[in-house]
Amino acid sequence: MKAIDGGISRLPPAPAWLPPEGKAEWRRVVPALKGRRTITKADLPMLEAYCLAAGTVRQAQTTIAVEGDLITTEKGDKRRHPAFQTMFQALTESRRLAAELGLTPASRNKAVASESGDDLGDFDL
């Protein structure tokens, strides 16, 4: 991905309000984003939201790992642990935001194709 106008090379540390899992994700992705200079100050809330969602996925997975895949209801029925729904929603959001931030292979490849003019622009063949 090509650096953009206004892209910042010095991203701030993870926000204090992020849970530990979100802070860990921040520390994991920020070095690559700094190097590419594809994030502007206006994009920081999106980066925060991505890290929160990715951290929530990890928190929900930890809950499931500790408490098990199934819970027993008051009536004695077995049901899937409610953390699965939280994990699925956070995973969906984290994938969407990762693509917006250029953190997925597909989004990076799309940007490279656009930069090289391989997107067929106005269909001038």
The tens digit of pLDDT for each residue in 15-70 reads 999 999 999 999 999 998 888 888 888 999 999 999 999 999 999 999 999 999 99
3 state SS of 72: strand
pLDDT band at 117 (very low <50, low <70, confident <90, very high): low
- Whether residue 116 is contained in a domain is answered as no
Number of compact structural domains in the chain: 1
Structural domain containing residue 56 = 20-104
- Whether residue 43 is contained in a domain is answered as yes
Question: Average pLDDT of the chain?
Answer: 86
In the chain, count of helices (H) and strands (E)?
4, 2
pTM of this prediction?
0.81
Q: What is the pLDDT, as a whole number, of residue 15?
A: 96
- Whether residue 117 is contained in a domain is answered as no
Distance CA 78, CA 58 (A): 24
